[in-house]
Amino acid sequence: MQKINRNVVLALLSLTSLIFLLFQLCYYKFYLSQKNGTAFSKVRGSQSDQDSTRWHVVRKFLGLTSGHNIPVYLIDPLILGLVDKDIEQIKNSPDGPNPECKYFCTPRDFTTFALLDKTWKHEVGLFRTAEKMGFQWLKIINKDPRLDGMDDLSGMEIPLHYIFKLASHAIHLVVFYERSGNFLWHGPLRLKQHMDRKFVPFRKLHFGRYPGAYEKPELLLVSIDDLKVQIPKNPSSFLEEMSHSRFLECRYREARAFFQLYPDDASLDAMEFRKKAKSLLHLAALTLNNLGVKFWLSSGTCLGWYRQCNVIPHSKDVDLGIFIRDYKADIIPAFQNAGLPLKHKFGKVEDSLELSFQGEGDVKLDIFFFYDEDDHIWNGGTQVKSGKKFKYLFPKFTLCWTEFVELKVHVPCETLQYVEANYGPEWKVPVKTWDWKSSPFNVQDNGVWPIDEWDNVIQIY
Amino acid sequence: MDEWKPNPTVKPHKKRSWYLAWKYKLMNQRALRKLCQTGAVLFLLVTVIVNIKLILDTRRAAYEEEEESAQDYDDEMLNVEAPRHPVNNKKVLDVEVYSSRSKVYVAVDGTTVLEDEAREQGRGIHVIVLNQATGHVMAKRVFDTYSPHEDEAMVLFLNMVARGRILIFTIKDEGSFHLKETAKNVLKSLGSQVAPFLSWRDMWTFVGKKGGEVYGEKHAKSPALSTWGDPVLLKTEVHLTSVEDAECHWPDTELNRRRRRFCSKVEGYGSVCSCKDPTPIEFNPDPLKDNKVFDVPVAVIAGNRPNYLYRMLRSLLSAQGVNPQMITVFIDGYYEEPMDVVELFGLSGIQHTPISIKNARVSQHYKASLTATFNLFPDAKFAVVLEEDLDISVDFFSFLSQSIHLLEEDESLYCISAWNDQGYEHTAEDPSLLYRVETMPGLGWVLRKSLYKDELEPKWPTPEKLWDWDMWMRMPEQRKGRECIIPDISRSYHFGIVGLNMNGYFHEAYFKKHKFNTVPNVQLKNVESLRKDNYETEIHRLLGEAEVLDHSKNPCEDSFVPDTEGKVYVMFIRMEQEADFTTWTQLAKCFHIWDLDVRGNHKGLWRLFRKKNHFLVVGVPASPYSYKKPSSVTPIYMEPPAKEEGAVAVPAVAAAEQT
């Protein structure tokens, strides 16, 4: 009797524990699916945990933003690079099932997304939901540069970056703002005193080291790794743009100090000149951008930007620089078609090329071509009556974007060296009488054009 | 073993073997059972272990999640400034209140929260509202109850203050002359013993809780008409309540969090802070179909009149087709309370360090605000400019949406304005009618970006020129003969009675009776006829059908216009040249419309309504429309009155409308 009892008890116990085990398994599976989604449970085996974590975090983040109607788009250089290789295939199979996690599982610390500020309302609800989903988040705010140029306005600080962290992966959300000059701007990522410096490895971020300027991208909704996500329509050109997107803000505070010292010329003439110079610059930028020729603000125009964030009213012309390697024969006809007749052409493509176009109302557009040497860059000048050549030497520089008279234009990133090379250490003091042959700090004699070449290298219209 | 006898032993053998077999079997079974038992035990053990592991896993995962969000909270706390503690965490506040002829002050726990000893200023009853939990000052007002109607304003204010707040009263100079019975009763109901008997030049201080106890009251009677009562100093203690008791228990939503922040800081906004059924702060008006101004930024120009701003934003956010994301409030100065109002409505606000003084300060504020608006919304082609003392009509955006394309296409236009300077109750009639006028009315208007960027901004008057921005904009150098489009019935209402160029008398005379459209979705009539050439055709058509009035009658008399409805009448006045407005000004005066300067004219023609008839006034011979005058009619000429009458007590003619 006792024996039978024991057996029965044992059998019962086993049965119970079996049921219990099954129940536990079911529960565990349910829990997992709730946490991470089931779509990849099939693939899980083939992927390491780390890889699928990245995918899951991205999936959750996309769920979060779409739940709050926040139109983010993917700008992660790593993933866009991979996507770019298969772009045709991805475009053609918008909904096709993907056999494996090819993009979002790539090893990396971050996935970067962009958000256009005007497309969403800063709402607290997003962050509460994010917290509920298990995200930790960090918000980086700073001054609004669009108000920076203005005396004495203090707006609310604006969010520049968000970082959402879940498990071992983080989402970097870069907020883009529209600026005058019809471009998008994102701010630098600077941690404030009290912020957690170890929140994520900030140094590895792809965006935020410097502020950046971008064209407004066309977006494309694609499905990659079973996730629907917006990407720039042309990933390769976006990546190209990204590689030299660094933006320099004008030095508004220094400009204000300058105007304290040397009050601005508010005369009607000055105003008229500024208006003309601005429209000439807009026209020149349009023409050169259409040709795909990269240019930057040079000489007086660059000084005006750097010193006073405006056109210098007594400068009487607009100066641009172009690398000779970017020279195109189309430049002259393009300007003529834009209503700017060629005024003179000095030098030749091989040496000291300089073009001058006649803008509206006596304002001249000077285009200097710059020649690259091993340790410096130079451009040339020519004196009409004597055929003398001059050379202006500059230290090597790279190009940055900036905003000037409602235009997105290039300036040398190393502006101070550039301006100092050209105008000397006293560049902060306005000079009204300027001789291009002797005043520049960096001018050198460069011989004389051979007389038989004059017809070619000195053309005046 | 040699002889095997099978038989006898068979049985036992058999028996035994069966037994053995059975025993063996039994033993086998026992082993099996043992095996089973061990197996079962092992299985149980495994189950237990697996179970424990599963439980631990789940726990850990859940815990990690919890921990993450907990850390998040820490993180967020780091971003927030150290929480503000109520004053010293003390439960009792020391309050000192002083009242005298030339000086009043109030000190709370040794901190002076009010001090006024300026001469010729601050007369009347000063009121301070403290938060009963924190002791913070929530509102500061002065009601000049020596002057009429100020007591009504005080009653209105006191009624708006939430129950439980601490109220402090003190009189400077004189506060009883126009303190009527109603106001006295309100003070009495707050617990004041003296209020009903306050009289000429008495000094008085009072501290009490609204709807609760009285903390102290002191009074000094004036001994004679020509002298003041002795200064009184009241020192008392106020017991603070807990924060929970001081706050309302609204459901915890995003909106209510904004509301709570607002209501714990400021007082005097009435039902927005009432615990039961507070008035909404989100309005969700109907969207407009095909809204052409949805993406047009709206700049609200404000100063330090937070109550006005509150009323203005309410009406703005209730207008159909409003897009709150495009609204920016520009506050001239670092004032907290207007910013609180802006945040209450979840809008964005920008503060501006004041430059220069008076009109030039306003002018610089306008410039900074407009520049900032176009910087913040670089895509915008237009900006709507509003001021803090305007009510916005429910169809304001609908009105703009229907007309804005004209501003884009017609170069001869300067602006679109929601305000008709001559649109009074008795002179405006048709909500669907628009005019072209040569003057710039302001008060809710649309500015073209190109006009601002290319023309106005570069030569905007500098701070040292003490100019009014609107007067400057009306100058021919700026306007260059361009015109503005205005509605017959204004889409904005100017309610401000305190301001730089504004006072009660002025408001009553020129703004109070202004007509304001309250009809939603008005379909504008014949918008295309507002284009430059079309408008001339339209005017000629109108003049063609107009009936010439009897010019022998006095135009100021009611009978000048027949008692008809829906007719078009025309009258001719003398106007020697383009700038001769002598007769018009007199006519405007007797019509009781704007007569401080010339407004609403188009080529020597004014259009308005008289007794529900369209009424045209043509200046002869300056106006090109003079040709319509029958030769028998002599244009009416009216003399300006003698000098003394002309010198009405009105502030600078420039006063116009801005603040």
CB A323 within 8 A of CB A294: yes
pLDDT at A316: 83
**Among candidate residues A406, A315, A147, the one with its CA nearest the CA of residue B453:** A406
Q: Which residues lie below 8 Å from residue A447, measured CB to CB, with a gap of 6+?
A: A388, A389
Scan for tokens 């500015």, then name that residue: B447
The whole-angstrom distance between B380's CA and the closest CA on chain A is 10
Give A-chain residues touching B352 at CB under 8 angstroms: 152-154
The whole-angstrom distance between B69's CA and the closest CA on chain A is 6
Backbone angles phi, psi at A343, to 5 degrees: -95, -50
Averaged pLDDT, A406-427: 94
Structure tokens at B214: 């009285």
- Write the residue in B72, B355, B459 that is nearest to A136 by C-beta: B72
A31 touches chain B (CB under 8 A): yes
Count interface pairs A-B at CB distance under 8 A: 127
Q: Which residues lie below 8 Å from residue B313, measured CB to CB, with a gap of 6+?
A: B300, B329, B341, B342, B345, B347
Q: What is the layout of strands, in order, in the sheet containing B214-220? A: B137-143, B124-130, B166-172, B203-209, B214-220
The whole-angstrom distance between B63's CA and the closest CA on chain A is 11
Rounded to whole angstroms, the Cα distance separating B111 from B159 reads 27
Averaged pLDDT, A59-69: 91
Q: What is the pLDDT of residues A352-383, one digit of tens each?
A: 999 999 998 889 999 999 999 999 999 999 99
The count of residues in chain A is 461
- Other CB atoms within a 10 A radius of the CB of residue B248 amount to 15
Rounded to whole angstroms, the Cα distance separating A126 from B422 reads 50
Cβ separation B353–A152 shorter than 8 A: yes
B193 touches chain A (CB under 8 A): no
Structure tokens at B129: 């509202």
B377 touches chain A (CB under 8 A): yes
Averaged pLDDT, A26-42: 55
Cβ separation B348–A180 shorter than 8 A: no
Whether cis (ω within 30° of 0) applies to the bond prior to B463 is no
**Would you place residue B26 in the very low, low, confident or very high pLDDT band (cuts 50, 70, 90)?**
low
Give the distance between the most distant pair of CA atoms in chain A.
Answer: 130
B32 touches chain A (CB under 8 A): no
pLDDT at position A232 over 50: yes
Q: What is the pLDDT of residues B118-139, one digit of tens each?
A: 888 889 999 999 999 888 899 9
Q: What mean pLDDT value characterizes chain B?
A: 85
Cβ separation A150–B68 shorter than 8 A: no
**Among candidate residues B129, B65, B74, B123, the one with its CA nearest the CA of residue B99:** B123
| Strand B327-332 to B348-352 pairing | parallel
B368 touches chain A (CB under 8 A): yes
- Other CB atoms within a 10 A radius of the CB of residue B532 amount to 14
Torsion of CA A21, A24, A25, A31, to 10 degrees: 180
Rounded to whole angstroms, the Cα distance separating A434 from A300 reads 10
Give B-chain residues touching A178 at CB under 8 angstroms: 377-379
**Would you place residue B153 in the very low, low, confident or very high pLDDT band (cuts 50, 70, 90)?**
confident
pLDDT at B72: 32
ipTM at complex level = 0.78
pLDDT at position A36 over 70: no
pLDDT at position B71 over 70: no
Choose the mutation target among A180, A249, A250, A405 for the interface with B, i.e. most B CBs under 10 Å: A180
| Strand B445-448 to B413-417 pairing | antiparallel
- Write the residue in B44, B72, B459 that is nearest to A131 by C-beta: B72
**Which of the two residues, B12 and B109, has the higher pLDDT score?**
B109
Give A-chain residues touching B78 at CB under 8 angstroms: 194-196
SS3 of chain A: the string is CHHHHHHHHHHHHHHHHHHHHHHHHHHHHHHHHHHHCCCCCCCHHHCCHHHHHHHHHHHHHHHHHHHCCCCEEECCHHHHHHHHHCHHHHHHCCCCCCCCCCCCCCCCCEEEEEEEHHHCCCCCHHHHHHHHCCCEEEEEEECCHHHHCCCCEECCCEEEEEEEEECCEEEEEEEEEEECCCEEEECCCCCCCCCCCCCCCHHHCCCCCCCEEECCCCEEEEEECCEEEEEECCHHHHHHHHHCCEECCCCHHHHHHHHHHCCCCCCHHHHHHHHHHHHHHHHHHHHHHHHCCCCEECHHHHHHHHHHCCCCCCCCEEEEEEEHHHCCCCHHHHHHHCCCCEEEEEEECCEEEEEEEECHHHCEEEEEEEEECCCCEEEEEECCCCCEEEEEEECCCCEEEEEECCEEEEEECCHHHHHHHHHCCCCCCCCCCCCCCCCCCCEEEEEECCHHHHHHHEEEC
Nearest CA in chain B to A4: B33
CB B345 within 8 A of CB B364: no
Cβ separation A150–B453 shorter than 8 A: no
Structure tokens at B402: 């229907």
Please give the helix or strand (H or E) that residue B235 lies within, else none.
Answer: strand B232-239
* Residue numbers of B between 443 and 462 with CB closer than 8 Å to A: 453-454, 458-459, 462
Cβ separation B69–A132 shorter than 8 A: yes
pLDDT at position B16 over 70: no
Structure tokens at B355: 């430059």
A26 touches chain B (CB under 8 A): no
State what percent of residues in chain B have pLDDT above 90: 60
Rounded to whole angstroms, the Cα distance separating B6 from B14 reads 11
Q: Cα B56 to chain center, whole Å? A: 56
Rg (CA), chain A: 30
The whole-angstrom distance between B289's CA and the closest CA on chain A is 20
**Among candidate residues B611, B614, B618, the one with its CA nearest the CA of residue B635:** B618
Q: What is the pLDDT of residues B356-372, one digit of tens each?
A: 777 788 898 999 999 99
- Which among A33-37, A151-155, A334-338 has the top mean pLDDT? A334-338
- In DSSP terms, B214 is beta-bridged to B208
* Residue numbers of A between 129 and 158 with CB closer than 8 Å to B: 131-132, 134-139, 144, 146-147, 149-156
The answer to whether the predicted template modeling score (pTM) of the entire model surpasses 0.90 is: no
Averaged pLDDT, A317-345: 94
CB B50 within 8 A of CB A22: no
B463: DSSP letter: T
Q: What is the pLDDT of residues B608-657, one digit of tens each?
A: 999 999 999 999 999 999 999 999 999 999 988 775 544 444 444 334 44
Q: What is the pLDDT of residues B394-419, one digit of tens each?
A: 999 999 999 999 999 999 999 999 99
Scan for tokens 């009072």, then name that residue: B206
Q: Strand ranges (DSSP E) for B109-173?
A: 111-116, 124-130, 137-143, 166-172
Q: Cα B189 to chain center, whole Å? A: 31
Scan for tokens 């995003």, then name that residue: B254
Alpha helices, DSSP H only, in B82-149?
none
Q: What is the pLDDT of residues B164-181, one digit of tens each?
A: 899 999 999 999 999 999
pLDDT at B25: 66
Give B-chain residues touching A132 at CB under 8 angstroms: 69
- Which among A84-88, B35-39, B79-83, B347-351 has the top mean pLDDT? B347-351
Structure tokens at B335: 């004032």
DSSP-based three-state secondary structure for B640: coil
CB B574 within 8 A of CB B619: yes
- Write the residue in B50, B377, B454 that is nearest to A275 by C-beta: B454
pLDDT at position B314 over 50: yes
**Cα–Cα–Cα angle for A412, A413, A415, nearest 5°?**
65
Looking at the annotation, which residues of B are catalytic? 389, 470
pLDDT at A98: 60
Rounded to whole angstroms, the Cα distance separating B431 from B420 reads 11
Rounded to whole angstroms, the Cα distance separating B148 from B183 reads 12
**Would you place residue A154 in the very low, low, confident or very high pLDDT band (cuts 50, 70, 90)?**
confident
B42 touches chain A (CB under 8 A): no
**Among candidate residues B449, B483, B489, the one with its CA nearest the CA of residue B599:** B483
DSSP-based three-state secondary structure for B541: helix
Give A-chain residues touching B33 at CB under 8 angstroms: 3, 7
- Write the residue in A17, A118, A266 that is nearest to B47 by C-beta: A17
pLDDT at A19: 84
The b/e string for B391-424 (b: 16+ C-beta within 10 A; e otherwise) is bbbbbbbbbbbbbbebbeebeebbbbbbbbbbbb
Amino acid at B269: Y
Nearest CA in chain B to A144: B376
* Residue numbers of A between 283 and 302 with CB closer than 8 Å to B: none
Cβ separation A21–B51 shorter than 8 A: yes
pLDDT at position B84 over 60: no
Cβ separation A10–B36 shorter than 8 A: yes
Rounded to whole angstroms, the Cα distance separating A110 from B240 reads 51
